[in-house]
Structure 1
Amino acid sequence: MNDFATTATRWAIRIMLMLVGLVFFVCLLAVASAFALLWAVRALWAKLTGQPVSPWGVRMGPMSPFAGWQTVYRSGAEWMAQSSGAADAASGRAEREARTRRGILPGAGDVTDVQPREVHES
């Protein structure tokens, strides 16, 4: 009797997992069919109105991997432009480049809550 219960339980679990997989597959098939139907209606409407049919694609918007770098680069450039001013832009550029080469960050001279110390290069 114990062997029968074990075998019945295993088959019941297998059947349940098979049904869950079948339901998942049918749901995915329904979603894909809905997208295909929506695209076909969209293409038909574009043909009827004389507009070109444009494919759907991933747009490089605010979630593009390059947007983060562009944002950081832009904000750094704007910050440097605001801190240096327009009058001393030409003379300040050479000084900023020299400070960057020495490892001094822009705006480090404005910090007042720390004690400056010598930089030892090794």
Structure 2
Amino acid sequence: MNFLVNLLLRLVLLAVGLVFFASVAVAVAVLWLAWSLRMGWARLTGRPVSPFIMGIDPRKGFEMYRRAQQREAEPSRTPRADATRAHAPQGHPLQVTDVEPREPGR
């Protein structure tokens, strides 16, 4: 009985591995077909073939944070926002001072 369960488990794992391999192979084949059609159409119409690129530059990874710091350093168009920003402690969110809390149940 133990041998039968072991054999069945191995067959199931083999089938799962084969299905996974087949799905990866189909995905690669679809991408290759799409790239081939795109390249053929570009050559047929006389356009240059450009590669698929993701457009990620690792040197610009922290650019978003640098822009946010520059925005904080720039004065805003409203003097009230500048005054609130100047009195806020570093590392803490700005405190809202012009709102009065309501009593519960009202």
Common fold: TM-score over 0.5: yes
Taking structure 1 as the reference length, the TM-score comes to 0.58
1:54 aligns with 2:50: yes
1:8 aligns with 2:1: no
The CA distance in 2 between the partners of 1:30 and 1:60, in whole Å, is: 27
* Aligned-partner residue type, residue 66 of structure 1: K
1:82 aligns with 2:78: no
Taking structure 2 as the reference length, the TM-score comes to 0.66
RMSD over aligned Cα atoms? 2.4
Alignment of 1:59-74 (within 5 A): 59-60=55-56, 66-67=60-61, 69-74=62-67
C-alpha distance after superposition, 1:58-114 (max 9, x if no partner): 2128xx6734x222222222222216xxxxxxxxxxxxxxxxxxxxxx83xx249xx
Larger-Rg structure: 1
Which blocks of at least 5 consecutive residues in structure 2 are unaligned? 77-84, 90-106
Which blocks of at least 5 consecutive residues in structure 1 are unaligned? 84-105, 113-122
Greater share of helix: 1
